[in-house]
Amino acid sequence: MKNTKTTDAAQSLAARRTESPAFNEMVNLLAVFSDASSRLEEIQATANSELLVLIDEHKSEYAKLQEICTRTETTLESICKSHPEWFVTAKSIRTPYGTVAFRSGTSLEVKDVEATVKLLRAEEDRCLARGQVFVAGDYIRITETPDLEALEALDDTTLAKFMVKRVSADSFGVKAATINFGKAVKEAVAAKN
């Protein structure tokens, strides 16, 4: 059997809430929110369904165009690599049909992660003994792997001491030509004035 005092208090509180304009507004807003949320879910479901139909209509052509882009990018890279003289003054070439570019970058390659961590810790001890500051933790991640981003700041000789080497790589990119409407509008306004 329920405690009648608890039941009476709950009913009294419920009665006061329903008489409150703020409570009624909260309930009304929750109804609006629920209706809007439900409608959003319906729209999302419809959009997903329509997207699948749209994709089905274009997937064959899309696959063919994707293959063409991959083949032409590979051929463009080969042509550009065979003519390094084109990229002596600039890393990119812009044409009315698009841009080709080479980008250079480096990454670090760690031969033995555990050995590098031990070498970094040993360097910290050596520096401490000489009164110098070298905090191995600045170059080691919590998982006990070398912090490659931090190690990038060290020179190649120091990196070699920790069994790490800097590896250079070039990347090639192709961009199709696009119209910058913001720029076109600015130019049109400037031409009128």
Calculate what percentage of the chain has a pLDDT beyond 70.
83
CA 139 to each of CA 36, 86, 114, 168: distance values in angstroms, whole numbers, following the listed order: 51, 40, 13, 21
Q: Which residue has the higher pLDDT, 6 or 171?
A: 171
20 CB neighbour count, 10 Å cutoff: 11
Work out the number of other CB atoms within 10 angstroms of the CB of residue 139.
23
Mean pLDDT, range 134-160, rounded to an integer = 89
Q: What share of the chain is helix, strand, coil (3-state, %, to 5)?
A: 65, 15, 20
More confident residue, 136 or 14: 136
Express as a percent the part of the chain with pLDDT over 90.
44
Residues 53-87 have pLDDT tens digits of: 888 888 899 899 999 999 999 999 999 999 999 99
Mean pLDDT of the chain: 85
Question: What is the tens place of the pLDDT at every residue in 106-133?
Answer: 899 999 999 999 999 999 999 999 999 9
> Per-residue pLDDT averaged across 155-160, rounded?
94
Closest to 83 (Cα-Cα) out of 172, 175, 167, 168: 172
pLDDT at 185: 57
State yes or no: pLDDT of 163 exceeds 70. Answer: yes
Name the residue type at position 117: V
Residue 122, pLDDT score: 95
